[in-house]
Amino acid sequence: MIHVLIISPGVATRVGLKTLLMDEPRIQIIGEAATPGEVEPGQIDADVQVWSPGGSVSGDKFASELGNLLAGEPTAVLLIHDDPKVISGLAGLKMRAWGLLPPEASKEELIAAIEAVNEGLAVTNPAWLEYLSDEQPHRSDEKSDMVETLTSREIEILQLLAQGLTNKQIALNLGISTHTVKFHVSSIFGKMGTTNRTETVKRGLQEGLILL
């Protein structure tokens, strides 16, 4: 069971998030708050804190408010916001895991992101990774080399692997042969230094190559 705390100044937003999550058997909502500063001591140790601040978030205010969320044990924070620039602030703070989803994310994307950050993975749109500062570990040479090494087709197949599709389903989805899919999957394993699909998907999530 993943214990989730919902934080948002908008009542409608909090209700909306609760409605999306309340029927998910793997998730339990343990509380809600309007701002990080209003989080009660018993709630701050939630497994995942879903924060939708709404509007613009300035750098200083963002860091100050997020600091309130990190006052307890190391936690995972999933931020719901449409400004990718806040990634640099997320990645620069010490937390168990972080994620950034746009407000228009679907129920399935929201649940998948909560599960991923609960497992200690970073979750965001790969196109937003450019906003990570150069000194963050997510921008290591190893990761950059991997992005350059994987072809666009391989990244496409990696995304389908993350969705749990079989080789045959991937072949039908992309209009290519199963043999070609096997070739690409083998190539992906080799480039990512993995030996199976589960390990490959986890590595892809850690490197920001998979969009949930």
pLDDT tens, position by position, 131-151: 554 434 333 344 445 544 788
Is the distance from CB of 187 to CB of 153 less than 8 angstroms? no
CA distances from 39 to 56, 70, 82, 126, 194 (A): 21, 11, 23, 31, 40
Res. 207 pLDDT band, cuts 50 70 90: confident
Q: What is the mean pLDDT of residues 167-173?
A: 92
Maximum CA pair distance of the chain?
A: 56
Q: What is the pLDDT of residue 178?
A: 84
User: Which comes out higher in pLDDT, residue 88 or 202?
Assistant: 202
- Prediction pTM value: 0.60
Distance between alpha carbon 104 and the CA centroid of its chain, in Å? 15
Confidence tier at 41 by pLDDT (50, 70, 90): low
Give 77-121 pLDDT, tens digit per residue.
898 888 777 666 665 566 777 888 888 888 888 888 888 788 776
E strand spans, 34-94: 48-51, 76-80
Judged against a pLDDT cut of 70, whether residue 71 lies above it is answered with no
Give percent above pLDDT 90 in the chain: 15
Domains identified in the chain and CATH numbers: 2-127 (3.40.50.2300), 140-206 (1.10.10.10)
Query: Burial code of 43-56, b = ≥16 C-beta within 10 A, e = fewer?
Result: bbebbbbbbbbeee
What's residue 13's pLDDT? 92
